[in-house]
A = this chain, B = another copy of it.
Amino acid sequence: MFELDVRSRKPIYEQLVEKLKQLIINDVLKEDEKLPSVRELAQQLTINPNTIQKAYRELESQGYIYSLKGKGSFVHPSGKVDNEEELKKVREELKKLFSEAIYLGMTSEEIAALLHEVEGGQQDD
């Protein structure tokens, strides 16, 4: 399903969160689709189930998925994502990254090009 870089200094559960977020964002995992079970995914990735558990908990608290006891975890419909807090974080991050990119020599045209490249490849809901 996806690759984790065990060599990264980033904790595995964080990598999992990011990867799953990307899958949801890019509509590979559709609204209300069931995610693989903790045990299943743990076996597939040969990773400790606790680590998967932690990633799912994080995704839930960020509003990307919801869990039903005894049934599993599911993708949260995007329109309903509780996003105010997340949006604020993203805006702050963007501002920080923009100034860093410019400092390192990128022009705003290059940055905008990158934006439109991403925009083009993404499915809107």
Contact = CB atoms under 8 A, between A and B. Distances in A.
Nearest to A102: B122
B93 A97 contact: yes
Contact of A119 (B90, B104, B108): B108
A36 interface: no
Given A76-B7, A83-B105, A112-B115, A97 B94 contact: yes
Interface in A96-125: 96-106, 108, 111-112, 114-119, 122, 124
A90 B83 contact: no
Contact of A66 (B7, B26, B93, B100): B7
18 contacts: A7-B66, A7-B74, A9-B69, A78-B103, A82-B85, A87-B101, A87-B104, A90-B97, A90-B106, A93-B97, A94-B114, A95-B118, A98-B118, A99-B118, A99-B122, A102-B122, A111-B115, A115-B115
Given A7-B74, A81-B104, 20 more contacts: A6-B68, A7-B68, A9-B67, A11-B69, A21-B100, A25-B102, A78-B103, A86-B104, A87-B104, A94-B115, A95-B114, A95-B117, A95-B118, A98-B114, A98-B115, A98-B119, A99-B122, A102-B122, A103-B122, A111-B115
